[in-house]
């Protein structure tokens, strides 16, 4: 009986230490976000193939056939997004 109690106690102790290790790992995870949107012009026309770019991160994407885009895996913060389209002059 003592062996069973000792084995169960050891198992519970090990489980408790493992749970703390996972909790510490989760505290170090940085939350990631995304910028999502749709590119349209002043006449509400969809702009497929528009370039969406964050200059300071040197990353960007192209809008899909319906004008939608997603810039994933961004750290929390403020970003300046530049959108260009072949047929339209960039805004300054």
**Which of 20-29, 51-60, 76-85 shows the lowest per-residue confidence on average (mean pLDDT)?**
20-29
The answer to whether the beta carbons of residues 40 and 69 sit under 8 Å apart is: no
- Beta-bridge partner residues of 36: 70
Task: Give the model's confidence band at 30: pLDDT under 50 very low, under 70 low, under 90 confident, else very high.
Answer: low
Q: What is the pTM of this model?
A: 0.62
Instruction: Tell me what pLDDT residue 18 has.
Output: 54
Strands across the sheet containing 81-84: 59-62, 51-54, 81-84
Q: Which residues contact 88 (CB under 8 A, 6 or more apart)?
A: 41, 47
Q: Which two three-digit tokens encode residue 26?
A: 């989760």
């Amino acid at each position: 009986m003592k062996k069973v109690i000792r084995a169960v106690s050891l198992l519970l102790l090990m489980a408790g230490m493992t749970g703390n290790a996972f909790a510490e790992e989760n505290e170090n995870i940085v939350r990631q976000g995304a910028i999502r949107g749709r590119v349209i012009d002043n006449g509400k026309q969809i702009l497929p193939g528009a370039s969406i770019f964050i200059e300071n991160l040197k990353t960007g994407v192209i809008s899909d056939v319906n004008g939608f885009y997603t810039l994933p895996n961004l750290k929390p913060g403020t970003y300046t997004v530049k959108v260009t389209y072949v047929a339209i002059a960039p805004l300054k």
